[in-house]
Amino acid sequence: MLSPPISTATTRSIPPPPSSTTTHHPSQSPETLASLITTSKHIRQLLQIHAAAIRHGHDNHPIVNFKLQRSYSSFGHLDSSLTLFNRTHNPNVFFYTSIIHAHAVDNRHSQGLQLYIRMISQDVEPNEFTLSGILKNCSLEHGKTLHSHAIKLGFDCNMHVRTSLVDVYSRGGHLVSARQLFDTMPERSLVSLTSMITGYAKHSDLVNARVLFDRMPERDVVCWNVMIGGYAKYGKPKEALTLFRKMLITMNPNEFTFVAVLSACGQLGALESGKWIHSYVNNNRIRMNVHVGTALIDMYCKCGSLEDARMVFDKLKNKDVIAYNSMIAAYAMHGCCQEALILFSEMHRRRTRPTDISFIGILNACAHSGLVSIGKGVFLSMKSKHGIEPSIEHYGCMVNLLGRAGYLETAYGFVKNMKVDPDPVIWGTLLDSCSVHGNVGLAEEIVKFLVDHDLANSGTYILLSNLYAANSDWAGVARMRMMMKGHGVQKEPGCSSIEVRNTVHEFVAGDVKHPNSKEIYMMLEEINGWLKSEGYRPQTGIVLHDIGMMERERSLAVHSEKLAIAFGLISTEARSSIKIVKNLRVCSDCHEVTKLISKITRRRIVVRDRNRFHHFADGSCSCGDYW
Mean pLDDT of 212-241: 95
Give 100-135 as a DSSP string: HHHHHHTT-HHHHHHHHHHHHHTT----HHHHHHHH
The domains of the chain are located at 219-318, 398-486, 496-621
What gap in Å lies between CA 400 and CA 411, rounded to an integer? 8
What gap in Å lies between CA 228 and CA 239, rounded to an integer? 8
Give 148-175 as a DSSP string: HHHHHHT-TTSHHHHHHHHHHHHHTT-H
Which H or E run contains 550? helix 549-557
Number of C-beta neighbours around residue 320 at 10 A: 13
What is the sign of the dihedral through the CA atoms of 348, 354, 357 and 360? positive
Percent of the chain predicted with pLDDT > 70:
94
Which H or E run contains 39? helix 30-39
Paired residues of 621 in beta bridges: 616
Q: What is the model's pLDDT at position 598?
A: 97
Each residue of 8-29: b (16+ CB within 10 Å) or e? eeebeebeebeeeeeeeeeebe
pLDDT tens digit string along 5-55? 433 443 344 444 443 334 444 457 888 888 889 888 889 889 988 998 888
User: Cβ neighbours of residue 145 under 8 Å, at least 6 residues apart?
Assistant: 1, 2
Amino acid at 609: D
- Does the pTM of the predicted model rise above 0.95? no
Is residue 2 within 8 Å of 73, Cβ to Cβ?
A: no
Is residue 135 within 8 Å of 164, Cβ to Cβ?
A: yes
For residue 359, name the pLDDT band (cuts at 50, 70, 90).
very high
Is residue 424 within 8 Å of 399, Cβ to Cβ?
A: no
Q: What is the model's pLDDT at position 97?
A: 94
Amino acid at 497: S
Q: Say if residue 549's pLDDT is above 50.
A: yes
Main-chain dihedrals φ then ψ at residue 40, nearest 5 degrees = -65, 140
Q: What letter would DSSP give residue 527?
A: H
What gap in Å lies between CA 123 and CA 120, rounded to an integer? 5
**Of 528, 47, 27, 502, the residue nearest 275 (C-alpha):** 502
Arithmetic mean of pLDDT over the chain: 89
Mean pLDDT of 539-548: 65
Q: What is the model's pLDDT at position 10?
A: 39
Q: What is the model's pLDDT at position 483?
A: 77
Q: What is the model's pLDDT at position 544?
A: 59
Is residue 305 within 8 Å of 314, Cβ to Cβ?
A: no
Main-chain dihedrals φ then ψ at residue 558, nearest 5 degrees = -115, 30
Q: What letter would DSSP give residue 470?
A: H
Separation of CA 475 from chain center: 42
Assign a CATH topology to domain 219-318.
1.25.40
For residue 1, name the pLDDT band (cuts at 50, 70, 90).
very low
For residue 435, name the pLDDT band (cuts at 50, 70, 90).
confident
Mean pLDDT of 447-457: 81
Q: Classify 524 as helix, strand or coil.
A: helix
For residue 547, name the pLDDT band (cuts at 50, 70, 90).
low
Number of C-beta neighbours around residue 362 at 10 A: 28
SS3 per-residue string spanning 209-226: HHHHHHHCCCCCHHHHHH
Amino acid at 8: T
What gap in Å lies between CA 473 and CA 541, rounded to an integer? 12
What gap in Å lies between CA 15 and CA 80, rounded to an integer? 7
What gap in Å lies between CA 278 and CA 309, rounded to an integer? 11
Query: For the chain, give me the number of helices (H) and strands (E)?
Result: 32, 6
